[in-house]
Amino acid sequence: MAETWKPRLRQARRVLVATDFDGTISAIVPDPNAAVLLPGAADALAALARHPRAAAAVVTGRSLADLRARCPVPGVHLVGGHGNERAGAAAEAEAPDWTALAAEAKRQAAAWPGTQVEVKPWSLTLHYRRAPRFAAAVTAFAAALARRQGLRLVPGAGIAELTPPTAQTKGDAVLALRRELDCDLALYLGDQATDEDVFAAADAGLFGIRVGAGPTQAPLFLPDPEAAVCFLTALPQFLSGPRG
């Protein structure tokens, strides 16, 4: 499959180019609130959004409100909450009430200086990026919460994230966007466990691109976020070339 992506891209009538945010078009930073688009990322997304043969999207675990503030690029489709929050789309299900679990997590996190609990509409995230010595303890605590509450535990770069087991995934979101935007091919760039939901999707019209090292089902690979931005920057010219 990896060998066929360029011919397929040239032949495609319309292509969805979708990407994760953190670790893909933004560097991983100790404080998630300090994350910003890498230089050139906004211009690359804008160029793809304007291209007659492309549609551009960012699909992330961040909340939609947070994503809008960090990625204010006209024409780009924004999806937050691992696929459960989309601008202009009605929610298919009601977000869970995290109040009790968040209070429990915050009490426990007080024993781990440098850790942080973040409540988003569709996930409860424990950050230990600034306190890596507590990685095992935080992950074990999150795993225990997941088992007790019947939640899905999703590991990430310096995080342990809990999501409802019946919630939409990034894979669901990317495939839905491909259909809704009338694209016959999709490229998706991502760097962490939740992006594997896209890479594992059984869809012949989807090519996954893993950004950074790690086990993956994606057939394609880029070494780091800077390389991802270079790839996105080059795509509009590639799509403007001859088809077939």
Identify the DSSP state of 34.
G
Based on the fold, state whether residues 153 and 196 are members of the same structural domain: no
Residue 116 is assigned to a structural domain of this protein: yes
User: Is the pLDDT confidence value at 91 over 70?
Assistant: no
Q: How confident is the model at residue 156 (pLDDT cuts 50, 70, 90)?
A: confident
The three-state secondary structure class of 78 is strand
Among residues 14, 57, 41, the alpha carbon closest in space to that of 227 is found at 41
Based on the fold, state whether residues 106 and 159 are members of the same structural domain: yes
The three-state secondary structure class of 37 is coil
Query: What's residue 139's pLDDT?
Result: 96
Which amino acid does the sequence have at 137? A
Could you give the CA distance from residue 159 to residue 125 in angstroms, rounded to a whole number? 7
Residue 229 is assigned to a structural domain of this protein: no
Query: What's residue 193's pLDDT?
Result: 86
Residue 203 is assigned to a structural domain of this protein: yes
Kindly state the average pLDDT of the residues 227-240: 96
Q: How confident is the model at residue 126 (pLDDT cuts 50, 70, 90)?
A: very high
Query: What's residue 214's pLDDT?
Result: 87
Residue 131 is assigned to a structural domain of this protein: yes
Residue 149 is assigned to a structural domain of this protein: yes
- Tokens describing residue 221: 């690979």
Distances (CA, A) of 174 to 11, 50, 93, 141, 199: 20, 19, 18, 31, 10
Residue 213 is assigned to a structural domain of this protein: yes
Kindly state the average pLDDT of the residues 185-214: 91
Q: Which residue has the higher pLDDT, 38 or 167?
A: 38
Least confident of 13-17, 70-74, 93-97, 137-141: 93-97
The predicted model scores a pTM of 0.90
Could you give the CA distance from residue 39 to residue 226 in angstroms, rounded to a whole number? 9
Helix orientation angle between 99-109 and 135-149, rounded to the nearest 10 degrees: 160
Query: What's residue 90's pLDDT?
Result: 52
User: Is the pLDDT confidence value at 3 over 70?
Assistant: no
Q: How confident is the model at residue 16 (pLDDT cuts 50, 70, 90)?
A: very high
Q: What is the DSSP string of 84-136?
A: TEETT---SSPPP--HHHHHHHHHHHTTSTT-EEEEETTEEEEE-TT-GGGHH
**Which run of H or of E encompasses 15?**
strand 15-19
| Annotation says 97 is catalytic | no
Based on the fold, state whether residues 146 and 113 are members of the same structural domain: yes
The three-state secondary structure class of 210 is strand
Specify the number of domains making up the chain: 2
User: Is the pLDDT confidence value at 30 over 90?
Assistant: no
Kindly state the average pLDDT of the residues 168-185: 94
Q: Tell me the residue range of the domain where 195 lies.
A: 182-223
User: Is the pLDDT confidence value at 242 over 90?
Assistant: no
Query: What's residue 89's pLDDT?
Result: 62
User: What are the φ/ψ torsions at residue 209 (nearest 5 degrees)?
Assistant: -130, 110
